[in-house]
Structure 1
Amino acid sequence: MNKTKEYDFTIIVPIYNEEDNMTTLEQQLSAYVAKASLKTCVLLINDGSTDDSLTRIKQLCQRQPHFYYISSNANHGLSTAMKAGIDETESKYLGYIDADLQTRPDDFEKLLQFAPTTPLVTGIRANRKDSGFKKLQSRIANGFRRKMTGDTATDTGCPLKVMWTSVAQKIPFFDGMHRFLPALFALEQAPFKEVPVSHYPRVAGVSKYHLWNRLAGPLKDCFAYRWMKHRYINYHIDEASL
């Protein structure tokens, strides 16, 4: 039996070469799980790490009773790691947080208070602790995305989210989809809400993002979303005699 079914809330954490962050990640996530408002577990997703991350993940899961992991030998990217975690989750709600801990698990409580009525609740990074150049790239990409997709999200890159598992497992996934969650949830007529959360500078490890995958890649993905939006199948059965 999938052990996440025993919980109300599963936090998925994609990990790629984050060995330097694993100690802090364990400390913060285990502290949150112990006091969370819902019965919570953590699903660590090793995305083909080439450092000691997988060994550290296995050791962590042996120490912590509410921590589990899945692992791939190849690096597939963040969107694929997220999809793998979503596909393996059987709790009612699922959360997403980055392993770099630029957002903190305690802020899940700010999002969870809206989860009973809102299929997607995302953070907005307040007082964002990034360079001016990185913020500029995000503003350009977010502005273009909103124009192309019609969603009203202001910070799709915030690495703190809570979703209804049942809806998350229905939405179409593609490489880069993690930037389009509000727009993708809209295809299922599922509303979203943004909530301010704290943001912190990265203190260990190396960012996996650069100009191409933060700016040029998302702009290209907007065209893929527009093509898919006009061809997306969404229906409801109103009567049946099965």
Structure 2
Amino acid sequence: MSASIHGQSPQLSVVVPVHNEEDNVAPLIGEITKALRGHIAFEIVYVDDTSRDATLQRLRELQASVPELRVIRHLSNAGQSTAVRNGVKAARASWIATLDGDGQNDPADIPKLLAQRDAAAAEIKLFAGWRVNRQDSGSKRWASKWANAIRARMLRDDTPDTGCGIKLFERDAFLDLPYFDHMHRYLPALMQRAGWKTVSVPVNHRHRTAGVSKYNNLNRAIVGIRDLRGVAWLIVRSRRTAVEEMVFESKTP
């Protein structure tokens, strides 16, 4: 199903991974369409990671009234990074905006990211949201601050907030990155490893109003230590070089 302005192909794909977010689906989609309709040709790609509630049903119902909406369903639970990657692979636009499905990211910030992109140099391929005024619990904010400090020290990615779900990036650059579970938390470092530049953009952050968080501080810490070591290894082992195509003219007899 095509989403466009006057029949254009989408210029932006908004990818939203979800798992058990039945009460957040309709409000968030309404905010996305309000922020983007009339401004850019776009599509919305929801990736349902085997929700056990009515999330998929709500999405199917919304497709009747939201022509921009596409729905992809995982056949087995695979996690947020895989959901983002599958959404990006299915996307038809050359640029991707991502949002968490819990409604804490504000779709009204997407035009701000697009404006930053339009004014930026071509080598900047990722515009990462930066939650300057986080609305999470005190323990979660403390854990995030601690984790960001360790990550910045190890990876030197010059990014104050890699866990923010709202991001804007070039599709081809993303699909060229090494894929692994939880990679969505390390996109700035991975983009920089690939030779691109990244920018952090202050964005709004909101309280969760429905549903429950899928993470806690302990499971984030356990996987985070292992992932940090892996990303650091990837950076150390990275090798890049510019290339040029050689064209040799054949001599005419």
- Give the shorter-chain TM-score range: over 0.9
Pair 1:113 & 2:99 matched: no
Matched residue, 2:28? 25
Moved more, 114-123 or 231-240: 231-240
Partner of 1:140: 146
1:162 to 154, 162, 168: 168
Q: TM-score, normalised by structure 2?
A: 0.89
Tell me the SS of whatever aligns to 1:20.
coil
After superposition, give the CA deviation of every residue in 1:209-241 in whole Å (9 maximum; x if it has no partner).
112332232122110111222333544321333
Unaligned runs of 5+ in 1: none
Residues 121-132 of structure 1: matches in 2 within 5 Å? 121-132=127-138
Deviation at 1:2, TM superposition (A): 8.7
The DSSP-based 3-state class of the residue aligned with 1:68 is: strand
Match of 1:100 among 93, 99, 102: 102
Alignment of 1:184 onto 2:190: yes
- Trace 1:1-242 onto structure 2 (pairs within 5 A): 6-35=9-38, 37-116=39-118, 117=121, 118-241=124-247
Q: CA RMSD in A?
A: 2.0
Q: Which amino acid aligns with 1:74?
A: S
Instruction: Give structure 2 stretches of 5+ with no counterpart.
Output: 249-253
SS of structure 1 residue aligned to 2:146:
helix
CA deviation string 1:130-154 (max 9, x = no partner): 1111011001111111111111100
Using the aligned pairs only, state the percent identity: 32
SS in 2 for 1:115: helix
* Off by >3 Å, runs of 4+ in structure 1: 1-5, 232-236
Instruction: Give the paired residue count.
Output: 241
- Using the alignment, how far apart are the partners of 2:86 and 2:228 within structure 1? 23
TM-score under structure 1 length normalisation: 0.93
For the residue of structure 1 that corresponds to 2:31, the secondary structure is helix
The separation in 2 between residues aligned to 1:212 and 1:132, in whole angstroms, is 15
Q: Is the 8 A contact 1:45 1:70 kept in 2?
A: yes
Amino acid at match of 1:89: A
Measure the CA separation in 2 of the matches of 1:82 and 1:154.
21
**Contact kept? 2:3, 2:42, Cα under 8 Å:** no
Secondary structure of the 2:14 match is: strand
Q: Which amino acid aligns with 2:42?
A: T
Q: Deviations over 1:144-201 (max 9, x none)?
A: 1111111110011111100011211111121111110000001111111111111110
Taking the aligned partners of 1:2 and 1:150, their CA distance within structure 2 comes to: 41
Q: Distance in 1 between matches of 2:14 and 2:58?
A: 18
Q: Do 2:3 and 2:43's aligned partners in 1 also have CA atoms closer than 8 Å? A: no
Q: Which structure has the larger Rg?
A: 2
C-alpha contact 1:2 1:90 (8 A) present in aligned 2: no
CA contact (8 A) 2:163 2:185 kept: yes
Give the Cα–Cα distance (whole angstroms) in 2 for the partners of residues 231 and 48 of structure 1. Answer: 36
Post-superposition offset of 1:126: 2.5
- The answer (yes or no) to whether the contact 1:179–1:218 under 8 Å persists in 2 is no
Instruction: Tell me, yes or no, if the aligned pair for 2:81 and 2:182 is still in contact at 8 Å.
Output: yes
Deviation at 1:49, TM superposition (A): 0.9
Residue pair 1:138, 1:215 contacting (<8 A) in 2 also: no
Aligned partner letter, 2:112:
K
Cα contact 1:61–1:67 (8 A) shared by 2: yes
